[in-house]
A = this chain, B = another copy of it.
Amino acid sequence: MQDLLDRDRLASHDRSGDLGALHVADIAVHLDALSPAEAALAVSRLPLERAAAVLDHPSLADPTGLLAALEPSAAAAILDAMAADRLADLFRDMEEPPRKRLTALLTPEARAIVAALLVHPVHSAGALMTTEFVSVPASWSVGETLRHIREVESERETIYAIYVLDPVSHRLQRSVSLRRLISGDPEAPVGSVARFERPVTVLPQVDREEVARLISKYDLLAIPVVDEKNHMLGIVTVDDVIDAMTEETTEDVHKFGGMEALDEPYTRIGFLDMLQKRAGWLAVLFLSEMLTASAMQHFEDELEKAVVLTLFIPLIMSSGGNSGSQATSLIIRALALGELQLKDWWRVALREAPTGLALGSFLGVIGIARIALWQQTGIYDYGPHWPLVALTVGLALVAIVTFGSLAGSMLPFALKRLGFDPASASAPFVATLVDVSGLVIYFSVATLVLSGTLL
């Protein structure tokens, strides 16, 4: 339904005409389809506040190009009206020629705020935060606070959470929600309607994933970012966190698929950029998987003596990879949600070992049944020693699925321990790990079971 509405609305506007009745997000989408000059013309016709909101919006593909196409005075006015956090994001991603020109258009205050925000690493609370929040000293009354909010409302990113500071040390004491404030007694001190609990805060270097987890856990509309002494530096608002969560999920899915995160929509990224993001991991996996060729070369005698063994190589290897991929996806997610910590690795190992044994036995029984069935019904002849071949396949499946579950579940812990993102433990990564060791397991089992008969 939403889509229909949007198309109706879009259809009623000419390409650079009146965008006033559209949502900011839809204006951004609309501008993306125009040439820079057309887009600049359309933006310059918008009221300043809405123009700034459009430039503030993460859907807009190329805000820098749009600003560069505007008259310098118009660009300066819009930059001045933009939220500090988004302004910093904009300059963070900007390349050199326009960067210098646009920096010159900022007011000295804005330049200082942007410089301060740019200090924080990408994806940290400090980089996500805005400095446009409302704080009042604890000595104020509810009525004074409300009057202050009405005055500053238009310049603040959110006014639904108000932060109460110690009047002397300026340290954060409590937070008040606007809903409690408007139903409070105007004469009472602002602290009297504050939340009961100490505010949940984060340090600026905290990762956005952790910020999202806290906002979600405590159902916050914004979370204060504080320094070590509990002085407020800014706030991260829930809408920035949602955008960050979406980006983070995209990154994790890309990584889990066995590639670098694209960082740009599939439909927008250039052909060569995409090749680069995919070729790197593909080559690393390919080079590692070459060890399977080495392993097979090592067992060439066995291979020549018992060609029947080769028939089951793909089947057995893929089962190890599949069980490993299951375990990895479970652990990556449990680590991301904070359900598991690094120190829980042995608990997981103790759980995955019996799980792998059970799953491996299940597949082993199916595998043995398959060979027996084909043999007995005459579909294929696995030779006079077929019961031993079936036993080899069954035992190898138990061992490899158990190994796969263990290796797949331990890999994210190992990566996290080494300081990497556990989500880099992709399904192809686990499969490659298990493939090489799976071959060795398979041929070792075969040597044990078949020595004296086939081998």
Contacts and interface: CB of A to CB of B under 8 A. Distances in A.
A245 B246 CA distance: 8
A420 interface: no
Interface string A421-455: 00000111001100100010000000000000000
Contact of A354 (B271, B283, B286): B271
Given A215-B242, A256-B329, A275-B355, A314 B296 contact: yes
Q: How large is the interface on A (under 10, 10 to 19, 20 to 34, 35 or more residues)?
A: 35 or more
Contact of A311 (B242, B293, B339): B293
A429 to B, nearest CB: 9
Given A283-B362, A283-B363, A334-B267, A258 B289 contact: no
Interface in A295-332: 296-297, 300, 303-304, 307, 310-315, 317-319, 321-323, 325-332
A311 B310 CA distance: 10
A159 to B, nearest CB: 5
B330 A311 contact: no
A315 B289 contact: yes
A236 to B, nearest CB: 13
Nearest to A397: B286
Nearest to A21: B197
Interface in A200-227: 200-203, 206, 210, 212, 214-219, 221
Which of A146, A246, A307, A329 has most chain B Cβ within 10 Å? A329
Interface SS majority for chain A: helix
A12 interface: no
Contact of A275 (B254, B311, B333, B358): B358
A188 to B, nearest CB: 14
A150 interface: yes
A104 B318 CA distance: 53
A296 B282 contact: no
B325 A23 contact: no
A314 B292 contact: yes
Interface string A6-50: 000000000000001111110000000000000000000000000
A257 interface: yes
A221 B220 CA distance: 11
A94 interface: no
A265 B310 contact: no
Contact of A329 (B242, B254, B303, B439): B254
A278 interface: yes
A197 B8 CA distance: 14
B23 A200 contact: yes
Contacts of A366: 283, 286-287
A427 B242 contact: no
The 7 tightest CB contacts between A and B, nearest first, are: A257-B329, A427-B427, A292-B314, A322-B428, A266-B334, A219-B239, A296-B311
Given A252-B253, A282-B362, 10 more contacts: A2-B214, A149-B183, A221-B238, A253-B332, A258-B329, A285-B319, A289-B315, A293-B312, A293-B314, A318-B428
